[in-house]
Chain A
Amino acid sequence: MRIRTEKTFIIFSIIGFILLVFIILPLAKIIFSHDLPTLADTLAMPDVRDAIWLSIYASLLTAVVACILGTPLAYVLARKNFKGKSLVEAIVDLPLAVPHTVAGIGLLMVFGRQQMIGELFYDNFDFRFFGTLSGVILAMLFVSSPFMVNSAREGFESVNQRMEYAARTLGASQFEVFRRISLPLARRGIITGMILTWARSISEFGAVYILAYFVSYWDILSMEPNIAMTAPVLIADQFLQYGLERSSAIAALLLLVCLSLFAILRYLSGRQK
């Protein structure tokens, strides 16, 4: 009898297992195709090290920028109903539907040195987005912002609005309520948003490829200006120049770094429950 009632779940689990294997297999293949000495040799190459570090660094900055720009919008969407709200929601989700190379082209047409905003910054501050760290962040932000806004919004929606009302009657202004009640209680959603943003950003290729193939940036580790590619761009570059062997070794390293960071972050955010 017990088996009959569980049948559906057994079949569903088997189907689910197929999907899990599909996700794990290619990743495991990348990691286990290389022995440790090869990986160590690859890591010893300065352009590989720079690329992995640049990817981590740029995506972390992107997560911070996304949090600062995305949280207020998430709060508005969670709390207010207004005309055109569904249009705003559609715009928030739009980057999910735009091919990333298209996003890169679009960004370039706005932030390029002789375009709209790009020209403004170049003429007034001698500041370029194309081929710089800020360009990488723009590209990453564009493609990952839906994750930030939607997660933070879910966080705010989980906070009972009457709780905010209660705080208002006790004398707190709207901003005080946000700071002392809504923000701390929506913290999990915001942190999840930042992790997803970071994960999406570190893996971004298309938009970064268009906007900042070679990235000149100020390296905070060596305290010197440097030029490098982000890791996904470097992997594509190496694949085209030298083939699978070389590119997959770098891929394995990037994967290991990402997985460990992802595991640590999930562990840390899980502990905050």
Chain B
Amino acid sequence: MSQITLNEVSCTLGKFELININAIINSGEFFVLLGPTGAGKTILLEAIAGFHTITGSIMIGDKDVTDLVPEKRNIGFGFQDYTLFPHLTVEENIRFGLKYRNISSEQADQRVRELISISKLEGFEQRKPDTLSGGERQRVTLARALVIQPEVLLLDEPLSALDEQTKEVLRDEIHRIISTFDVTTIYVTHDQTEAAMLGDRVGIMMNGRMIQVGTPSEIFYQPVNEEVAAFVGMENILEGTVTSSEEGITAVNINGSTLYVIDTYNMQKTVRVCLRPEDIILSQTPVQTSARNLIEGTVTRLSPYGTLIRVQIDCGYPLTVIISRRSMEDLHLEVGSVVYASFKASAVHIL
């Protein structure tokens, strides 16, 4: 278990590049690297593992590994596509890395058995990888990476190729297995749910840069800019002018309507505010709630959003709201309906 320090890490690889990545991943932390496809997440992971030449420096613990070959870095790596060795059995796969450790064969046997047990792979020892399901293969991949007792574990989208049900089960499994090892983990994903559920902290990567690092609630409720806000699902991003700011409450005028915000404010006149669509409540009448913002609007569009419904309303400015199908029926919503939207001042964030 070691801290990972990335200092001005830059790297160019064909059309992909990393630009001045700075980050400290704390010892024992589960750090999620979140970003859209092509953001450079995988390259950063591979750079930490030692597969690309970089400028800047990478420290694992207090050791500078920038110029160290991959096999000397003591890193466990689980790759996106299955990289189990197809000509070896499950047990041989897990044992592979122990050949390069100075341990006796009894110790090796014991560690392999331990990993097989923790990963619930009993009975699969003599199977070849191509006879396993996607979930089983990922468990073997994880066991193979952890058996060498790495200082750092890097996982590249381990769940991306799985169906929804397996994904959920395995997400919890991965968390359980990793937490028994107390290893510093960087987990790459483009899935916000995974990031929110797994990450002690989350780093947002876009276009080769680390844009924001923070706890999941900081990332999902206080994105640093419009791009991050849009990526993490802040569907309402509105521009307005500040009319007053007293006792921590800022009033923002948007197209003639006033919106109240509880957030730090740096004295700009023109601001952008953002608001998650699931933080807005719709009602047929102007109900009394603790929410400071209440505004009348007209439904302009209803569209399915998975099992939920995305409602677009015009209340002087456009708002997107996500509600359940049940709520839509209870509210008798259709295009043209008049509704009242309410949301807390603390749910609004100034960008």
Contact = CB atoms under 8 A, between A and B. Distances in A.
Q: Which of B76, B83, B148 has most A Cβ within 10 Å?
A: B83
Interface in A198-248: none
Contacts of A168: 49-51, 69-71
Interface in B85-141: 85-87, 96-97, 99-101
B263 interface: no
A162 B83 contact: yes
Contact of A171 (B49, B71, B86, B87): B71
Contacts, number: 64
Contact of A181 (B75, B85, B99): B85
A77 B81 CA distance: 23
B77 A165 contact: yes
Given A167-B96, A171-B148, A185-B87, A162 B71 contact: no
Contacts of B80: 162
A176 B73 CA distance: 16
A33 interface: no
Interface string B45-75: 0100111000000000000000001110101
A169 B85 contact: no
A173 B76 CA distance: 15
Contacts of B73: 169
Nearest to B77: A169
A18 interface: no
A165 B79 contact: yes
A21 interface: no
B83 A163 contact: yes
A99 interface: no
Contacts of A160: 81, 83
A43 B84 CA distance: 53
A170 interface: yes
B46 A165 contact: yes
Contacts of A173: 69, 71
B298 to A, nearest CB: 52
Contacts of A169: 49, 70-71, 73, 75-77, 97, 145
B77 A166 contact: yes
A72 interface: no
Contacts of A167: 85, 96
Q: Which of A169, A180, A184 has most B Cβ within 10 Å?
A: A169
Nearest to A177: B71
A165 B154 CA distance: 12
A172 interface: yes
B144 interface: yes
Interface in A141-185: 160, 162-163, 165-173, 176, 180-181, 184-185
A81 B254 CA distance: 55
A185 B129 CA distance: 14
Contacts of A184: 87
Nearest to B147: A170
Contacts of A162: 79-81, 83
A170 B87 contact: no
A145 to B, nearest CB: 27
Contacts of B70: 165, 168-169
A180 B100 CA distance: 13
A32 to B, nearest CB: 44
A166 B83 contact: yes
Given A165-B70, A185-B86, A185-B87, A170 B81 contact: no
A68 to B, nearest CB: 22
Contacts of B96: 167, 170, 172, 180
Contacts of B69: 168, 173
Contacts of A170: 71, 96-97, 100, 144-145, 148
Nearest to B79: A162
A166 B79 CA distance: 7
A171 B100 contact: yes
Contacts of A163: 83-85
Contacts of A165: 46, 49, 51, 70, 77, 79, 83
14 contacts: A162-B79, A162-B80, A165-B46, A165-B49, A165-B79, A166-B77, A166-B79, A168-B50, A168-B51, A169-B70, A171-B101, A171-B148, A172-B71, A172-B97
Q: Which 4 A-B pairs have the closest CB atoms?
A: A171-B100, A170-B97, A169-B77, A168-B70
Given A163-B84, A170-B145, 15 more contacts: A162-B79, A162-B80, A162-B83, A166-B83, A169-B70, A169-B76, A169-B97, A170-B96, A170-B97, A172-B96, A172-B100, A180-B96, A181-B85, A185-B85, A185-B86
